[in-house]
Structure 1
Amino acid sequence: MAGKQPMRRGSRRSSAPPPPPPRKVPRAAPQGWRLWLRRAGLWVGALALVGMLFLGVAVAVTARSLPGYAALKSSQVGQTIVVRAADGTEIVTLGPSYGHWIPNSQIPQVMKDAMISIEDRRFRSHIGVDPLGLARAVFVSVRDQEGARATSTITQQLARNIFLNNSRSLTRKVREAVLAMALEAKFSKDQILELYLNKVYFGGGAYGIDSASRKFFSHPATQLSLEEAAIIAGLVKAPSRYSPTADAAAAVKRANVVLRAMQANGKISPGEAASAEVSAVKLAPEERQDSVRYFTDWALPQLDILLPDNTEPIEVWTTLDLGMQRAATAAIAANVPGAAQGALVSLDRDGAVLAMVGGTDYVHSNYNRATQAVRQPGSAWKLFVYLAALEAGYTPNDRVVDEKVTIDGWTPRNSGGTYAGEIDVRTAFAYSKNTVAAQLGNEVGFSTVAAMARRFGITTPINTLPSMVLGTSDVRVIDMVRAFAAVSAKGAAIEPYGIKKVTTLDGDSLYRHQASGGQSLVPGYVAAGITDLLQTAVNIGTGKAAQIGRPVAGKTGTTSSNKDGWFLGFSSGITTGVWMGRDDARAVPGLQGGTAPARAFAAYMRYAVARRPVEQFDTELKLPEWQLEPDDEAYYGQPNDYQYVDEQGNLIDPGTTQQIPGEPVGPRDGSDQPPAPGGVLPDVQNPQAAGDEFLNEATGRNAPPVDPRARSTDGDPRARQYAPDRGRPYAPDPRTRQYPPPPRGPPVYPGARPN
């Protein structure tokens, strides 16, 4: 034991072999969705890289192609239009209004802070587009399930105002973003802000803060206070909605939103925000917007047709007479009933619009009732009923019967509820007899009346129910005035126009109105007849209030429950129409065409025609030949004008004793008996060329009785002299072979009592 060395702890070796080193287990390849996710990530990354590269190239190329800063400063948005009256007086200037250019160093800091706070609070840090703002807008849209919200930065707005339009397409948004980043790459933040504040639109035609400051506060933008800056900054979102001159309460509310945004961004202290009194800001007095704007709103859109590609500043010379326009405005204001509106259109003999009033207050309502509103014309529509009747052969002296009548279950009644019995056409029109108008419309055909209205310029839908003769189809004021102007022009078509010529600011002509002879709508005798009726309506009928001391022809119109009142007429070459009523179509107590509208017409026309010579109307009824010839020859003409067949069926050559060539003149038995005078052969025993039954049917002999209620409006109107609705058979007397003379009494209407 002594020779053995003692064993020390830890020195003894283990007899077991050491464990083998651990093996490396190979990692399993990704499978399933993990593989597709990795691949998708790689593709997205690659596409993003390519997109960034493409975007960078696009921005760089765009930045190099952008105009210089001086060029951007001088560029202007929109077209300036100077509108002149007929005498050359400037009546309004439309389009952009630019104030003085305010350099960045002179723009008040409160103006810069207010605009950045409300429109683009990260303006100083983004690259032209705001990714954070875009992400927030997308999140809010998804959360609230609304459409995408506007996220344009100040730079994007500048790019849109200078280079693009206001479309909301995706393509435009992409171009806007590229242009915004190009602007940021080429110009400094201060330059971009200076451009923006001097070019952004603030409403009322004002572009830039200086123009807006002068418009709303009557001083330059260099003097803007905190409250004024807040008002101007608040306008960018919706210039018309937040305009202090249009809606002061809305402007104050929006300005307070701007002040809170400035406080939240640390631009003003809570004390400054609390002490700001936006409602105490003194606004500049607004220029009076009188009724001339109704005219310009109607006339100027026509420039898109007359000069579709013009963008340079222009002067537009119109047909408007400022004196007549003032007289028209005063006439409507002085006569329109309370709570009602009024409209007036006045045309010269060639269609030139001399005056146009679309309402009682343009500032309160710019809705043009003269050209846009459609209302029932009431009895003024009878113009077309009587035009159709006159064209069908009636004359002002013809007799008609004013009595109760029912047509297809409809029974019209007169205004006073009484009936005058047998009267002439002139009296029926002068006193606006509804029953007579209904009978005439039924006789000539309601579709014929509608076609007449279309012929004279009515553009709105027209119904053909029996009640249409009393004006139940909606019409526009300007269309009705156009129709009456055509009557004044002796039946020639009239086209209203408001622009005489257009020139550049240097006087170069771009457009000039060309006068053209109007198409004849009705024969002259029809125009003379209806003028006779219209003049009588003013002289002794429902339009007596429209008398002005010289010849006037016109017609009143009143709808049921006094909802609409009309007067339309003409004198000395000027045609004027007046309408009054409520926009909500409620009744206006006491409103009739012969009261307030007729008085307004007279008040205006006294001024309008004062410098014109008195003109007498041409009411001489120069009837056509078929109405002037002897009654028994009116329809068939003279015997020498045509070939005819005698009672034996032989064809006779007119004005001779000869039959047509190749046929013997004398009797077919070879006798020497001479022919009778006029080429009619004597009664002989020769066989007839046609049988008795055929001849009786052809000539009307032994014709069955004709229903006096039958109507025919498709043929020649001359047939009305002998037509069945006159109660006479359309056939010659079998003994004399002569046609009966036309009746002298009134026509027979459905349900009419015999004379």
Structure 2
Amino acid sequence: MKALKILLFLLKFFVGCAFIGTITVFAAYMYYSKDLPDVAELKVVRLQTPMQVLSADGELIASFGEHRRIPLKYEDMPQSVINAVIATEDSRFYSHYGVDPIGIMRAVFIALKSGSLSQGGSTITQQVAKNFFLTPEKSIGRKIREMILAIRMEKELTKEEIMALYLNKIYFGSRSYGIGSAAATFFGKTADQLTLSESALLAGLPNAPSAYNPISYPERAISRRNWVLHRMLDQEYITQEQYDEAIAEPLNVSYHVPKVAFSAPYVAEMARQFMYEKFGEFAYSDGYKVYTTITQKNQVAATTSVRHHVLDYDMRHGYRGPEKVLWQEGDTAFTPEQIQQALSKYMTYGGGMLLPAVVTKSTEQAATAVLSNGEAITINYDGMKWARSFISDNAQGPTPKTVSAVIKEGQQIWVRQVDKNWQLSQIPAVNSALVSVDSNTGAITALVGGFDFNLSKFNRATQAIRQIGSNIKPFIYTAALDKGLTMATILNDAPILRTSAGSEAWRPKNSPATYAGPLRLRVGLATSKNVMMVRAARAIGINYAADYLERFGFPRSNISRNESLALGSASFTPLQVARGYSVIANGGYLVTPYVIERIEYSEGGVIYEHVPEVACSDCLQELAYAEEDKQNISLDHVENVVTTTDGDTPDQNALTADSGFVLPENIPFERLPVDENQPKPETQPESQQPVYAPHVISSELAFIIKDALKTAVWGEKGSNWLGTAWRSRNLNRHDIGGKTGTTNLSKDVWFSGFGPDIVTTVWMGFDDHRRELGRARQNAFDERSYISAEGGARTVNPLWNDYMQVVLKGVPQKTEIQPNKVISVLIDRKTGMLATPDSNSIEEYFIEGTEPTQYSYKETGTQVTDEQGNTSELF
């Protein structure tokens, strides 16, 4: 009877406990689950993935974001990694429903036995719940929420989906999140290339990423890897043979950063600024892929050409001395450790071209220097004989006779390797920019904003507003042709001794100051005769010329309205200049340069794709302006967008204004939805008909001025004069043309030109616009080379040539299609009139109706006045 009472008491007690437990669990569930998120969000989760900036050919040029992550689908994850994770983290993963009671009991038992909580008993599902929805705090409340979420996840998601979330989210150390990024960071591989040993090593890292980091603590990492392999063997995921082979595999890890195919930092920064402006901090974590318009071939050629020619200019003008003196001759020399510490403060520049070094020994014939990696190098006399002392931009000292006269022990210097030989060098003070545009679409195929982005983030290609010099002449000559002049019109190449009535005294000069008397416009353009340009501008009117420049996309605010406009006193950016030359190259169409081709989000959808306004060289589109009112052109539809970079502001003349290139507007600027039921943005539908750019000058005008710019390269058959772009003959192509440009005192030098479907503008100058490029020997290594002034022809035409030589390699020569209204007429070279049988004749192009109607006559003499006012008979 007593035993029965005891049994009844126990029964009531257990029933009561069960009831109370049920009520407690229910109450806890209701309490802790009331504010929990919907686990269905995990079906469309947005992982923190860095923004990638890519070239038009799909090559990575930059990555922005704190977390390195390469999201993978479950089927793309190696089975060896999945097995290793299950064996070490959750051996009952496929049999439990989010929470593993056996695992919890085992963790409690081990905790009681050891006196510390060494195992948490969390399943992989629980870890996913914690990583996506909860904080890492250690509390009972957080643990309960974690369990509730895990159970809900098991109902909503498949095991494969949960495993994919885990392996894409988990932290592996060294800024790597997810197995895809970990494989790239530690092994430089894609996840599917991992060996069993490597899979086991990575699977062991999430438990303690810092403690088991294989780069910092290789012995710990090997021990952890071996334990993971042992667990895989126990769980029968691998055989004994596989285990033995994996254990014996050496640890072969090193730190791998995201592999950039080629350098284009100024373009990458343009893309980054735009994306940050539209998406804020989410731009760096939502996995956007920004495809730019640049191509690897063009960009690499542009970067290489700019850097080499900037350094060449810098060497021509002399050596400015060491970066720093660490110890004087006769003092105690630095130890190797002190040298390495001193060099660790310096970067390399010019894409690794310029390296910091410390001179440890110097003799008359050679010097020994140490690089930052401890390597000792030798600089022979041939590698530093260029180093005449810098006196000013216009003067350099004598050629040094010995190495020790220039390089001394204890100096921190800059060096570069050329053809396996080491040269003394220095960080250049001058800078340069290059921009290359598809003349038919406006796509920017290459852009270099300076010598080195790490030295200055100021983008000179889009932000530096500099005087254009003679680069302006083709545009004003186009205006003159539209006003009624022709390429056969004769203008006097003679000094202008007085100005027009009411104007200030101004005496424009040729450079050099030589004059040839009456010349045809074609010759004047090709040889860049300043006084002829002034006379042409006077003939059509300065206001007409200034208004006409707007047709080429030049902003009105930057156009001066005085006679100096004819010589290039207006100031534009290199990109604006390239855009203007594109009008000439493509048949008269004002294309709008753009740099972003399309934008994708991490799931692969396209949220923006640029549809350019293209040139139409083979259609009969009417001009975008009224023939009866050519001076009033509305270009309001053209968007001018500018980005600015904080930090470098070299001078007031380099302040940004209308840059003339377009950035996307019609894309959703909110973060993309994570609701699977909400439709995602779709690719913009392709237009059935192409969108044409405005036709701002006639195709006939464009053809004639383009042909005249070819004359600047090749001259005229049967003539003994050279155009200012004669150095471009080295390209051995007759489908190229271009124009030099040099401002007063050579403060800015330019070369702009075209090839088949491409226009490229190059600029060089100092960021301080008050400083002139000066004079120097043509060859810094040859003391016999003559001294001459820097200019568009000498300084940047060779740079343009080097770039275009690469870009046009393999591109067939293009034959220009002559418009129907353009006719070819035989004229007399000297008079520009119709040729007679005894004339020195040449063919010239005319728009039908503008050709000469009178025949040439025998000349009786012409007086020419030189700069000093002396007169003589020319003929």
User: Which structure features the higher share of helix residues?
Assistant: 1
The structure that is strand-richer by fraction is 2
Which structure has the larger Rg over C-alpha atoms? Answer: 1
Structure 2-normalised TM-score? 0.43
Q: Name which structure has the greater RCO, CA cutoff 8 Å, separation 6+.
A: 2
